[in-house]
Amino acid sequence: MAVRGFSHLGITVTDLARSTAFYTEVFGFRVLYENVEPAWKRVGLVLDSTVLELFGPHPVGQALEPIDMLYPVPYGRPKIALTVADVDAAHAALTKRGVPLLGPVTETGRSRLLFALDPDGTPIQLQQFRDGQHRLAAVFGH
C-alpha cells in the first residue's frame, strides 16, 4: 500500500447548521461542498488545503445503511488540531465569543497550545508551533 498523504477529517455533529456556522465564523473555514441525501447530510469545509467534513446525525428510526459505517459516532470522538499564529490572541478571541475552553494556554517543548470545544464537545486543539511551523510533520523534520 502506498499512502500519499492525509485526505481530510470527518466528524459527526448533532446540528449541521450550527456546527457549520461555528467552524466558518469562529475559525474561518469556508463551505466547499454540501450533500443532502434522504438518509444523511454532509458539509465539506476547507481551510488552507485541509477539508473538514461535518456529517449530520443518522435519522432516528431509519434502518442503517452501509453509508452509516463511514461516520460511526460510537467508535469515539476525534480531536481537530489547528495551527494558529498567536495562541494568546486565539485564547482572547475564543473567550470573547464564549467558546468553551479546556484550561489555560499550555507550554510544551515544541509549541504553545490550548483546547476549545465545538458545539458537540469535540476538542479543538489550537497550536502555535515554535520556529513558525504550520504542520506537525514539519516540526518533526518532515
Query: What distance in Å separates the CA atoms of residue 132 and residue 73, rounded to the nearest whole number?
Result: 35
- pLDDT per residue as tens digits for the range 64-87: 444 444 344 444 457 788 989 999
How many C-beta atoms surround the C-beta of residue 71 within 10 A? 19
pLDDT at residue 53 above 50?
yes
Confidence at 1, pLDDT banded by 50, 70, 90:
low
Query: Can you list the domains of the chain with their CATH numbers?
Result: 1-60 (3.10.180.10), 74-142 (3.10.180.10)
Beta strands in the chain (DSSP E): 9-12, 30-36, 41-47, 50-55, 80-83, 106-107, 111-117, 123-129
Residue appearing with cell numbers 469545509: 45
pLDDT tier, 62 (very low <50, low <70, confident <90, very high otherwise): low
Q: Which of 100, 131, 129, 132 has its CA nearest to residue 117?
A: 100
CA 113, CA 90: separation in Å to the nearest integer? 10
What is the per-residue pLDDT across 119-141, written as a single tens digit (0 to 9) for each? 988 888 888 988 877 776 676 66
- pTM here is 0.72
**What pLDDT, on the 0 to 100 scale, is given for residue 81?**
85
Beta strand 80-83 pairing with 123-129: parallel
Mean pLDDT, range 50-65, rounded to an integer:
71
